[in-house]
Amino acid sequence: MSSDPIDGKSGGRAALAPAIPGWAAPLRLTVNGTAHTVRSSPETPLLYVLRDELQLHGPRFGCGLGQCGACTVHLGGVAVRSCSIPVSAVGDQPVTTLEGLGSPDHPHPVQQAFIEEQAMQCGYCINGWIMTAAALLDKTPHPGDAEIRTALSGLICRCGAHMRILRAVRRAAARGG
Ligand code: FES
Ligand code: FES
């Protein structure tokens, strides 16, 4: 029996793969510093792969249309909307999710500032704000208020926690990210 190139076991998915319409070779992703082989089809949004296959639930599904920012991750250090990027477009660019930004014991400075400002209500949108602000401060450690507002302008908070969120990002910016 032949060996499965996906999981190394015989008699698995690869034995059936040539007969499945649309089947494609597994994709490799580096997420939060760890290499993964994923089985989703190439056109699957990166968000679905992260949440459903890799069980990384920091990025959220909000609109699914690239308009709210809840699904934001870093791709090669740039904040992007993972609901609108097919997993096949990731290539060898490293992906960072909220889980890779900080930890409960060692939060990222932006996460720490959000905690200190209690900058959330339901919390559903917060992934997008934190990931976007972290990318901004990575590139521009001391942004002015206009730069902060411009960077955050495409994000939506249905709870209206915007003023607390702005205070948190300003707090992190004052510390240089
Ligand atoms: S869920 Fe991706 S931008 Fe809204
Ligand atoms: S805190 Fe609830 S949507 Fe933003």
75 pLDDT above the threshold of 80:
yes
Q: Which atom of ligand 1 is nearest to the CA of 66?
A: 3
Start-to-end CA span in the chain (Å): 55
Q: Which ligand is nearest to the CA of 161?
A: 2
pLDDT digits (tens, 9 = 90+) for 34-57: 999 999 999 999 999 999 999 999
Q: Which of 76, 99, 122 is the last residue in one of the domains?
A: 99
Domain of residue 122: give its range.
Answer: 109-174
Domain boundary among 79, 99, 119: 99
- Could you tell me if 30 and 89 lie in one domain? yes
Residues 83 and 40 in one domain: yes
Q: Are residues 87 and 65 in the same domain?
A: yes
Boundary (domain end) residue, out of 55, 75, 99: 99
Domain tally for the chain? 2
Which domain CATH number covers 119? Answer: 1.10.150.120
| pTM of the predicted structure, to 2 decimals | 0.86
Q: Are residues 39 and 57 in the same domain?
A: yes
Contact assessment for residue 125 and residue 70, using Cβ atoms and an 8 Å cutoff: yes
pLDDT digits (tens, 9 = 90+) for 79-112: 999 999 999 999 999 999 999 999 999 999 999 9
At residue 9, the pLDDT reads 38
Instruction: Say what angle helices 126-139 and 162-174 make with each other, to 10 degrees.
Output: 30
Q: State whether the beta carbon of 163 lies less than 6 angstroms from ligand 2.
A: no
Instruction: List the Cα angle 73/24/27 in 5-degree steps.
Output: 35
